[in-house]
């Protein structure tokens, strides 16, 4: 779980820093960063599974990394063309961020059933942040500036939460050291 948290924290932090420091806050930039974050999470999660020699089965597709990879491919297919209007790009950004954050939140809530005791609260915090983001993107009227700003805030908060979670020693490590 620690390696997974570090991985997700790095990918989320990279996306957040890019959105925070770039001058262009258009929906196209938001979609591009969303695509990079989702594909980055998916590919890095797959690489981590191969490195740690985890068995990859169809049941493990409904993990945050599996969801990310599938949505990254869908974004490329549906919103990857340069012929869509700015309003369509904003609509895609809102739908994809909402779907991503809600699906990942559901996967994390599902993971609390089998997680170690010290990880359950962190999974619930992460899932709550995702559900809140998904609801905001689905139900509030957002322009491109607000949508990209909220997306970068979600990425930044998720990155920090994951980094703190990864840096916190669990009870087994603190008792052995």
Stated pTM of the model: 0.85
What pLDDT does residue 110 have?
86
Looking up tokens 């191969």, which residue turns up?
50
Q: Give the span between the Cα atoms of 42 and 73, in whole angstroms.
A: 10
Contact at 8 Å (CB) between 33 and 151? yes
Q: Environment class of residue 17 by beta-carbon count within 10 Å: exposed (0-12), middle (13-18) or buried (19+)?
A: middle
More confident residue, 91 or 77: 91
Q: What are the tens digits of pLDDT across the range 149-166? A: 999 999 999 999 989 988
Six-digit token string for 30: 């938001």
Domain chopping of the chain, boundaries = 2-167
Q: How confident is the model at residue 124 (pLDDT cuts 50, 70, 90)?
A: very high
What pLDDT does residue 86 have?
85
More confident residue, 141 or 46: 141
């Amino acid at each position: 779980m620690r390696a997974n948290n570090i991985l997700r924290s790095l990918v989320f932090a990279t996306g957040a820093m890019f959105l925070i420091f770039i001058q262009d806050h258009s929906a196209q930039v938001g979609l591009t960063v969303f695509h990079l974050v989702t594909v980055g999470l998916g590919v890095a999660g797959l690489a981590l599974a191969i490195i740690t020699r985890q068995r990859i089965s169809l049941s493990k597709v409904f993990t945050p990394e599996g969801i990310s990879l599938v949505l990254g491919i869908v974004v490329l297919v549906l919103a990857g063309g340069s012929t869509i209007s700015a309003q369509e790009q904003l609509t895609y950004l809102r739908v994809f961020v909402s779907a991503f954050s809600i699906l990942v939140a559901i996967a994390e809530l599902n993971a609390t059933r089998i997680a170690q005791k010290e990880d359950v609260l962190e999974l619930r915090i992460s899932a709550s942040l995702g559900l809140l983001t998904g609801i905001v993107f689905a139900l509030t009227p957002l322009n491109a500036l607000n949508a990209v700003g909220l997306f970068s805030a979600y990425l930044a908060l998720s990155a920090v939460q994951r980094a703190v979670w990864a840096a916190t020693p669990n009870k087994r490590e603190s008792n052995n050291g």
